[in-house]
Structure 1
Amino acid sequence: MSDNPDAFGATRTWVEYGERTVDEPVPADVAALVAAGTPFWLDIERPSDALIDRMASALGLHPLAVEDSKEFAQRSKLVVYGDVAMIVGFGLDMERGAPVEVHGYLAAEFLITFRRAPSVAIDRLHRTGSLRDMLGGEPIRILHHLATALHEEFAQYIDVLEARLRDVERAMLDDSSDEHLSEIVDIQRIADDLRRTVAGGRDVAARSKVAVSMPGDTADAAIYTGDLTDELSLIVDDLASVGERCIAALGLNASLASNRQAIASRQLATVATVFLPVTFVVGFFGMNFEVLINDFEQGWSRFLIFGVLLNMAGVVGTLWLLRRRGLR
C-alpha cells in the first residue's frame, strides 16, 4: 500500500479499531494496522477500481470477489474464499426509497465495506461505535450486527409506504383522480422492488451451511443466520402486504370510476326521459299534416292545454315515476 496521503482520492473513508474512529485515514494508517495484526473496520464510500485493487493486493482478497465489487449491481450473496467471507447486502435510502448496495469483506482480523452511496445505517454504526466493540470477535456476530443495522430502515420505510397508501385511500373516497392512481402505482413499484431485493438476502441467510464455513468460531452460526432469516422474512411479508393493498386500492379506484360513470349515465338518462313528452308534443305540433293538427292550432286555449299543460303533466309524471322507482 502506498504511503501517499492522497491515495484514497475523492472517496470518503473511515477506519475503526480499538476505541478509535479515524475519519479520512491515509493508506499508511491501514497498512500499520495490517502489519500489527490489529482488528479494524475500514469503510470506503465510492471506491475507485484502483483503490479496490490496492485493498485486494494488501489483504489477499479473491479476484472473483474483487471483480464483483468493481462492477457492483450484485444480488445478495455470502461467499467464503478461504479465510475471507465476501458479503453483499443492502441498506436503504429513505429519501429515494432505493436500496443501498454494500459489499463487505470479513475475516478474523478485519472488516472492509465498500459502497457507492451514503448509508444512514453505516453512519449510525460509526457514530455509536457498536460494531467497533465486536472487532476481533466472532465473524458471524459481526456479520449479524452489520446486517441487522442495514435492515432497520426497511421497517421504518414500510410504515412510510403504508401511511402514503392510507392517505391515498382516504383521498380517493372523497374524489378519486389520476394523481391517486399514479401514487398507488408508484408505491406498488417501490414495494415490489424492495421486496425482491430483501428476498435475495433472506434466501442467502437461509443457507446456513455457507455461514458455518465462515472463518473463526461458527458454533452459533445457525442461530445467527436463523435470526437474520426471520428478520428478513418479516420484511418481505410486510412489503408483500403493501403490494397487495396497492392491488386492492387499484380495484377501489376502478370501482369508484365505474360508479361515477354509472351516476353520469343515470343523470343523462333521467334528462332524456324528462324530455320525452316534450319532444313528443313538439314533434306532434311541428308536423305538416293539417288534417292531424289543424283543429289544435286554433286559439290560445288549445295551445295552453296541449302545448303547455300537457308538457308539464308529462314532465311531472315522468319525474314521479323516476322517483318512485328510485332512479333519482
Structure 2
Amino acid sequence: MIKTIAVNQNYQLIHNLDATELVNGNYLWYWIDFHQPSQSEIEVLNSPLQFHPLAIEDCIFTLQRPKLDYYEDYTFFVTQALNPTTITKEEIDFFLAENFIVTFHHQPSPEIDEVWNRFSLSTKVKKWHPSQVLYHVLDKMVDNYFPLVYQVEDTLNELDENSKGRSMEALLEDLFDTRHQLLALRHTVTPMRDLVYRIINSQRMTKMQIKLEYFSDIHDHLLKLTEMVEANRELASDIRDSYISLNSHQTNHVMKVLTVITTLFMPLTFIAGIYGMNFHYMPELTWRYGYFSTLFLMFLVVLGMSLWFKKKGWFK
C-alpha cells in the first residue's frame, strides 16, 4: 500500500495523490509511505521516483545494517525498529531530500503511523519539513527501545532475586534467552547510535534544514541505551557466574561429606575383610568375646577418626 501527503504553496495538506503527480507537481514538499508494498508498488521507486538501483535493492532485501548513503539529489537511510513482542529487528528505509521524504517498510510501523497521523492533523504545517518527519520517526523508534531494555532489566532482577531454589538448567535457560534478547538490542542500538552520529556530523545534512540539536538529543538517548544494554549484559554474566560458583560450592560440599563417610568406612571394611577370610587357624575366631571386641574396636576407630576430622574442620 502506498500513502501520500503533500504540502501545496498555500501550506495546505493534500492526500492520496499519485506519485507521478507529486514528482511533476508544484508542491513545497511531499511524503510518500510504502507500507508493505506489492511488487508493482515497489516499481514506483524506479519510475517515476527514479531512485538509484542500489538503494532500491537495499529496500527489497531487508535487514541491512543501519547506514547512510549519499546520492546526487537525496540521502538514503537504513534504520531499524524493534518488534516489542519478539524483540526482532524490522527495517525502515528513508529517502530524504529538501522537497520530499519517502519511507519504505515491509512490516507495520507504529512509529510512522503515529507521526503520519500527527502531521495529518497538524494546524502548524509551516513548521513541518521532510527532515522534521525523519526526526520524529527516529525519535519514536528510539523511545520504543527503552521499554524493551527496561523489560529485560526487570527480568534479570527477578532472576537474581529468585535464583535460589531453582534448578540450574531452568535458570541457565532463562539467562541465555535474556542474553539473546540483549544481543539483539545491542545489534540494533549500537549501529543506530553510529548512524545518528553520522547525521550530526554530516555537512550535507545542514543543507536540509535539519536542526542538529534535536538529533543530538536522539544520540544522547542511544548512548544511554548502549550503557544500559552493556550493564545488563554484565549483570547477566554475573548472575550466571555466581550461580555456577554457588552450584559448584554445593557440589564440592556434597562430595566432601561423601568422602568423609567413605573414609570412615574404609578401616571398618579393612577389619571386616580380615576377619571375613576363611582361614581355619585364626585365634580370634574361637575367642568367646572376639565378636564384641571387634565391634568395639570398629566403634573406637570411627569415633577417633570423627573427632580428628572435626578438629581439622572437615565437617563445616
- The answer for the alignment partner of 1:304 in structure 2 is 292
Per-residue CA deviations over 1:142-197 (Å, capped at 9, x if unaligned) read 32221111111211111111122222233333334122222222322332232133
Distance (Å, rounded) in 2 between the aligned partners of 1:117 and 1:59: 22
Residue number in structure 1 paired with 2:208: 216
> Residues 18-42 of structure 1: CA distance to partner in whole angstroms, max 9, x if unpaired?
78797xx5xx555555535264433
- The question of whether the paired residues in 2 share the 8 Å contact of 1:110 and 1:136 is answered with no
* Residue of 121, 136, 145 corresponding to 1:154: 145
What does residue 260 of structure 2 align with? 270
| C-alpha distance in structure 2 between counterparts of 1:128 and 1:287, whole Å | 97
| Secondary structure, counterpart of 1:210 in structure 2 | coil
Match of 2:300 in 1: 313
1:140 aligns to 2:131 (yes or no): yes
1:46 to 36, 44, 58: 36
TM-score (normalizing by structure 2): 0.83
Aligned pair in 2 of structure 1 residues 126, 313: CA closer, same or farther (>3 Å)? farther
Percent sequence identity is 24
1:50-90 Cα distance to aligned partner (Å, 9 max, x none):
32221342233233322221222211122332332211111
Alignment partner, residue 294 of structure 1 = 283
Q: Name the residue aligned to 1:202.
A: 193
Distance 1:228 1:262 in 2: 51
1:73 and 1:101 in contact (8 A); partners too: yes
Alignment check: 8 A CA contact 1:90 1:101 kept: yes
Amino acid at match of 2:105: R
Task: Give the SS at the match of 1:172.
Answer: coil
RMSD of equivalent CA atoms: 3.0
> Which one is further off, 263-272 or 131-140?
131-140
Structure 1 residue 285 displacement after superposition: 1.3
Counterparts of 2:113 and 2:280, CA distance in 1: 96
Alignment: residue pair count:
308
Give the Cα–Cα distance (whole angstroms) in 1 for the partners of residues 141 and 241 of structure 2: 34
Identify unmatched segments of 5+ residues in structure 1.
1-10
Q: How has the CA–CA distance of structure 1 residues 281 and 127 changed in structure 2, closer, same or farther, with 3 Å as cutoff?
A: farther
C-alpha separation in 2, matches of 1:108 and 1:131:
22
Q: Does 1:168 align with 2:159?
A: yes
Match status 1:326 vs 2:313 = yes
Query: Any gaps of 5 or more consecutive residues in structure 2?
Result: none
Aligned to 1:258, the other structure's residue is in SS state helix
- Structure 1 residue 278, shift from structure 2 partner: 2.1
Q: Which residue of structure 2 lines up, in the alignment, with residue 116 of structure 1? A: 106
Stretch deviating more after TM superposition (65-74 or 126-135): 126-135
Kept in 1, the 8 Å contact 2:190–2:226? The answer is yes
The one-letter code matched in structure 2 to 1:298 is W
- Kindly indicate whether residue 233 of structure 2 is the aligned counterpart of residue 243 of structure 1: yes
- The verdict on how the C-alpha distance between 1:283 and 1:127 changes in structure 2, with shifts beyond 3 A counting, is farther
What SS is found at the alignment partner of 1:236?
helix
Change (3 A) 1:14 1:256: farther
Structure 1, 34-43 or 251-260: larger mean CA deviation: 34-43
| Counterpart in the other structure of 1:93 | 83
Q: CA deviation at 1:17?
A: 5.3
Kept after mapping to 2: 8 A contact 1:80/1:213:
no
